Amino acid sequence: MKLPHRTRLLLCLWPLTALGQPPDTTQPPFGEPIPVPLTQGDITNATGAVLPEVVIVDSRTAKKGSEVAASTTVLDQDASVFSLATSMRDYQRYEPGVSVPFGFSGGGPSRSGRSGTGSINIRGLDGNRVLMQTDGIRQADQFNFGGTTNIGRDYLDVDALKQVEILKNAASSLYGSDALGGVVSFVTKDPSDILNGKNWGVASTTRFDTADDSFSQTLASALKAGQLEWLVLHTWRQGHEIDNRGTIIPDFSDYEVRNWLAKLVWKPDEHHTFKLTGEYLQRESSNDLLNARRQFLSSGFIFRTNSMLLDDEVSRYRLSLGHEYDRGSDTGLVDRFNWQIYFQESRTDEHLLEDRDRITPTFRDRFRDRNNVYWQSHVGAQFNLVSNFATGSLQHSLAYGAEFITSFSRRTRDGTEYDFTANTTTKVFTPDTFPLKDMPDSETLRYGAYIQDEISWGPDRRYILTPGLRIEYYQINVDNDALYLRASGGNPGTDYEKFSIAPKLSFLAKLDEHHSAWFRYAMGFRNPTPEDLNGTVTNIPFNYMTIPNPDLKNETSQSFELGLRGQYDKAAWSLAAYYNHYQNFIQIFANAGGAGTAANPTIFQSQNLSYATIYGLEFKGDTCLDFISPALRNVTLFGNAAYSQGWDGQNDQPLASVDPFKAVAGLRYAYEQMQLEFVASYFARQNLTSATATPNQFVPPSSLLLDLVARWQVTEKVTFTAGLYNLTNEKAWRYQDVRGLTTATTDLDRFTLPGINARFALNIQF
């Protein structure tokens, strides 16, 4: 439930009380602009000077952003999407070609935003087609069916992060399966981020968000003693359901998040760094699904749901040990290398209580108690090496490495129905007999090795040619126990084995001092998950069943991108055009035949679709306006735009997963200790015909959202950031949030974005 308005107002104003303390005499002199961009992974800083950008995700090793032959984005702690972020969704607020839909629960009237964010959509691909990793460790797979939740991949807390990198191209040549649509790499904080060159440091971040009345407090402390550094970080966050702008109230929700991050770093000398990391996340929520209260017809009977209460617990913990070596020169056989071993476990528990009466033909007072669990663990090892050498006039930076990952996946469901009228209990809810498993317990093996040679020649590395290749062995072994066979109608799950090769070739040319152009080709692939391979929905009384497909192929892509980039003293821009061709998209629960009778039931099976294509354009730029007038030397104009189209060749219709046109434009003003940004975001109406995967699909109208973000460097150690969003209180939907809903949906207003809302963040660092 929400807080009273007076309490909400007091919490909004509370951070301002910190601003009344005496100013720190060590703060930067007034008149010196603060070099911190607020909104996006900006190209220039507040003074208009171009900031150097370091990109790791494109090559597994640090390199200049200006020499990356790909569309990438780097967001660090200087951007307000970090200062004001409360979820992964906030990172894409102003990013072209990227969106993060809510992980809505269930379907139809029980659908709500309680599940947080789902997956990340990059240029029309999402779910398990986009690799998400934290400190080089893969996030758990998304699970798309069974129970009341579409279980997303939100197993992290944003306050533990210091950087997010987004690669918008297929990257299987480096990362293997799951990088078909790109990579999102999250990097957690290190002790050095808190120490800032001192022997001890403490950092505190306090946030309040009026959209869901959430309040959070993060406290991080770090110490340095000789060759050792350590960090302990804790975040506590509490909030409620997210407001909307519609006439239908959202489902009530109360949530609490706790996240611990601990790191021990040992630097025996200037070349070696050892790092031991432990992390634990726990997110609990209690939800009253108001919109599930309804009367409905099923199997010839009339039922009424009087209440539906749902408690969730999401947890993830990991332990990792890593080592980095940097020779400091390019004269050895191996100039740099790193390795890491790790264990990670991710789990989602759902406890559902449903008061559900049968109205006809005779009244039955019933109550259902259900428990669902999705669990996945990873044990892995990886190592990466870089060797720099020359062959004649050619300079080589050879990156190579391997990784070995073993994953275990389990999905169980249990339930009991109490009939208070007949005073009986049962484990049978048609079509299910509990307990059961939606897929067999599965062991997934990934063994991969890659090599990539960055070849450069000419003055100042004018030309850079980078061929690359990865080979990967992928295997799924299943356990067809009694609980799975009960759910599958006796049909056993199948094992899977695949050997894949993914090449890549890119070329970058520095046309002159300020301009460069690039071309990139990459092949991507994605092997089926245990859910894709053997997920089951079987209903013998209603004459349908699911069977595995032993001939299921992996998805593949051919990805092409052309780009231009300009970089000047006080301005920068980039333009990219891309074309991606996909084959063998996996469609789960495809109709594989049958008449829907007892003798010949309808058969559902995961199958490969023929092909799909996605193409588009992206632009982003940033320039200081002092070329118009010296009076505008503290004003920066920035913006970006993304246009994309997709086509489903199997069904000869638009690809519904592609986002509509999006454009962002803004002005940034920085002077002395203040910085202010005004941002306008335009979302076009998606151009879909009636012939889509969802007939009569609801398509949101176009919308224009206005935001205002401000930052005040109160002292050298205190920073206050505030944001006002949707200033005009516009009623708007995000396309990905309502994808799959039809125009007949009666509660579309529930999925509208919040009206005008505010966020505040107070950062203190000693």
Q: 């489902």: which residue's tokens? A: 251
pLDDT at 82: 66
Report in angstroms the alpha-carbon separations of 367 from 33, 252, 255: 63, 21, 25
Nearest to 116 by CA among 239, 300, 32: 239
Specify the length of the chain in residues: 766
End-to-end CA distance of the chain: 36
pLDDT at 106: 42
pLDDT at 541: 63
Token pair for 764: 């203190």
How do 272-288 and 183-188 pair as beta strands?
unpaired
The DSSP call for residue 49 is P
- Rama region for 637: left / alpha / beta (φ>0; ψ in -120 to 50; rest): beta
Task: Check if the beta carbon of residue 220 is closer than 8 Å to that of residue 156.
Answer: no
CB count in 10 Å sphere of residue 559: 26
Task: Check if the beta carbon of residue 287 is closer than 8 Å to that of residue 312.
Answer: yes
d(CA 756, CA 729): 5
Task: Check if the beta carbon of residue 340 is closer than 8 Å to that of residue 322.
Answer: yes
How do 183-188 and 131-134 pair as beta strands?
parallel
pLDDT at 377: 97
d(CA 427, CA 433): 6
Give the DSSP H/E element, type plus range, for residue 455. strand 436-457
Structural domains in the chain, CATH included, are 34-765 (2.40.170.20)
d(CA 224, CA 201): 9
Token pair for 80: 């307000």
Exposure string over 277-286, b if 16+ CB within 10 A, otherwise e:
bebebbbebe
d(CA 108, CA 552): 30
d(CA 726, CA 704): 9
Q: 């638009």: which residue's tokens? A: 654
Q: DSSP string of 228-258?
A: EEEEEEEEEEEEEPPP-SSSSPPPEEEEEEE
Q: 């999006």: which residue's tokens? A: 662
Task: Check if the beta carbon of residue 157 is closer than 8 Å to that of residue 316.
Answer: no
For the segment 702-748, what is each residue's pLDDT rounded down to a tens digit? 999 999 999 999 999 999 999 999 999 999 999 998 888 888 888 89
Token pair for 590: 């495809």
Question: How many distinct helices (H) and strands (E) make up the chain?
Answer: 7, 39
Q: 């708007």: which residue's tokens? A: 732
d(CA 234, CA 583): 44
Sheet order of strands, 183-188 included: 72-76, 161-167, 183-188, 131-134, 137-138
pLDDT at 689: 64
d(CA 444, CA 441): 10
Task: Check if the beta carbon of residue 220 is closer than 8 Å to that of residue 232.
Answer: yes
d(CA 114, CA 508): 44
Report in angstroms the alpha-carbon separations of 207 from 39, 157, 216: 17, 14, 5
What torsion do the CA atoms of 612, 613, 614, 617 make, to the nearest 10 degrees? 180
pLDDT at 150: 63
Token pair for 500: 């894949």
The DSSP call for residue 21 is S
Point out the residues of the chain with pLDDT beneath 70: 1-52, 79-82, 103-116, 145-150, 299, 331, 540-542, 689-695
pLDDT at 30: 30
Backbone angles phi, psi at 561, to 5 degrees: -145, 135
pLDDT at 417: 94
Coil, strand, or helix at residue 531?
helix
pLDDT at 116: 59
pLDDT at 296: 82
Q: Which residues contact 194 (CB under 8 A, 6 or more apart)?
A: 201, 202, 203, 220, 221, 222, 231, 765
Token pair for 621: 């730029």
Q: How many CA atoms lie within 13 A of 450 on its CB side?
A: 26
d(CA 695, CA 40): 36
d(CA 141, CA 135): 17
d(CA 115, CA 284): 10
For the segment 563-596, what is each residue's pLDDT rounded down to a tens digit? 999 999 999 999 999 999 999 988 877 778 888 7
Cα 696 vs. chain centroid, distance in angstroms? 28
CB count in 10 Å sphere of residue 291: 19
What 3 state SS string does 649-691 have?
Answer: CCCCEECCCCCCCEEEEEEEEEECCEEEEEEEEEECCCCCCCC
